[in-house]
Structure 1
Amino acid sequence: MLFPVALFINSIPFFTLAIIMLYVFALTLKWFPLSGGYDFQMVPQLSFDFIMSVIRHHTLPFLSIVLVTIGGQAIGMREMSIYELNSDYVLYSKLLGIRDGRIARYVFRNAMLPQITGLALSIGTMVGGSLICEIVFSYPGIGTWLFTAIRQLDYPLISGCTLLIAVAVLLANFTIDVIYGFIDPRIKAAQMEEQ
């Protein structure tokens, strides 16, 4: 059941899912606001009401980008799990009489490693897709600022936005490297040998 849903969501472009979510959840059901980064009558401040308003306005743009990415990750995870289930160590473990639950844990951990790498690499794609989603939701995000700076030839703002995006991608890759050490004991052992 999850695979067809993930395949369907992965094949939808960011902006199409954004328009569908805007129509269903903001216009029809009125669960979320239609546009903006926070309620227009509010003044930006560090208060609970303002933070909740920012979260409500951020939810639909965030979900429209992340759901498409997660759909692709789910498809890749399924393919890698099938590949790992046909590996020799799985057959050997079954012959030794190890429980299926324990084997599934090892299969999941080994199948997850390429997906984590793919997730780190897809952050650039998410930033690229965010511009169109920000336009659909009239959300004042970094993509909108970068697009406005390019149109107005504002080179310091272009440099600042590019720097923020580069730092975000570098931090994501650093975080993925740290997570690798927790997931794969072989990498953790290699890190210990280097010290």
Structure 2
Amino acid sequence: MLYGFAVVAGIFPVGGAYSLGLTPEFSVAFLWDAVSYYWSPFLSLVVVFIGGQAVGMRSMAIYELGGDYVNYARAMGIRDNRITQYIFRNAMLPQITGLALAIGTLVGGALITELVFSYPGVGTLLFNAITQNDYPVIQAVTLIITVAVLVANFLVEIAYGIIDPRIRAASAGEK
């Protein structure tokens, strides 16, 4: 992606976080320049991440096709569009869990991506701290990643209640 879109096509900048002549400040020109440098590493992470999510969603949808509720719905004459909604709603739940847990993996991928694109970020900070044996920074970055994964998992638990009505009914029955 770096060679094709940055070197050959010239669509994205080759590396860095902003143009060399700019001073980091809170202005429209600087923010626009920083966003143009951000797209290339971001898209490379998203392309890899979306591929894994798509394969997982496909396998979960195929698994749900064999469910008893699908056969029952077809026997009752429910339209295929409606059955597809049920299938995707049930197949989506494990994908949401995987999405939250993938934040830690995404940071590991970001480390490599930041090194390839020469983008200064948390991954580069962690890599530099490891190479320099800077233990407080390593601990701080690890703590931040851990808290991010825990917060993401907490938000997933809240999203489960919104997405799946069975979870709301189960929690209402416990009161």
TM-score under structure 2 length normalisation: 0.93
User: What corresponds to 1:45 in structure 2?
Assistant: 25
User: How far does the alpha carbon of each residue in 1:61-95 deviate from its partner, in whole angstroms, 9 at most, with x for none?
Assistant: 11212211211111111111111111111111111
Unaligned runs of 5+ in 1: 1-20
The letter of the residue matching 1:147 is F
User: What corresponds to 1:168 in structure 2?
Assistant: 148
Q: d(CA) in 2 for partners of 1:140 and 1:192?
A: 47
User: What corresponds to 1:33 in structure 2?
Assistant: 13
Determine which of 63, 67, 70 is the counterpart of 2:47.
Answer: 67
User: What corresponds to 2:89 in structure 1?
Assistant: 109
**Secondary structure of the residue that 1:37 maps to in structure 2?**
coil
RCO comparison, higher one (Cα < 8 Å, 6+): 1
Percentage identity across aligned positions?
A: 58
Q: d(CA) in 2 for partners of 1:77 and 1:131?
A: 26
The number of residues matched between the two structures is 175
User: What corresponds to 2:161 in structure 1?
Assistant: 181
Q: d(CA) in 2 for partners of 1:193 and 1:63?
A: 44
User: What corresponds to 1:8 in structure 2?
Assistant: none
Stretches (4+) displaced over 3 A: 191-195
Q: d(CA) in 2 for partners of 1:47 and 1:193?
A: 53
**Secondary structure of the residue that 1:140 maps to in structure 2?**
coil
Determine which of 64, 67, 88 is the counterpart of 1:84.
Answer: 64
TM-score under structure 1 length normalisation: 0.84
Unaligned runs of 5+ in 2: none
The letter of the residue matching 2:152 is A
Structure 1 residue 194 displacement after superposition: 4.8
Distance 1:87 1:137, change over 3 A: same
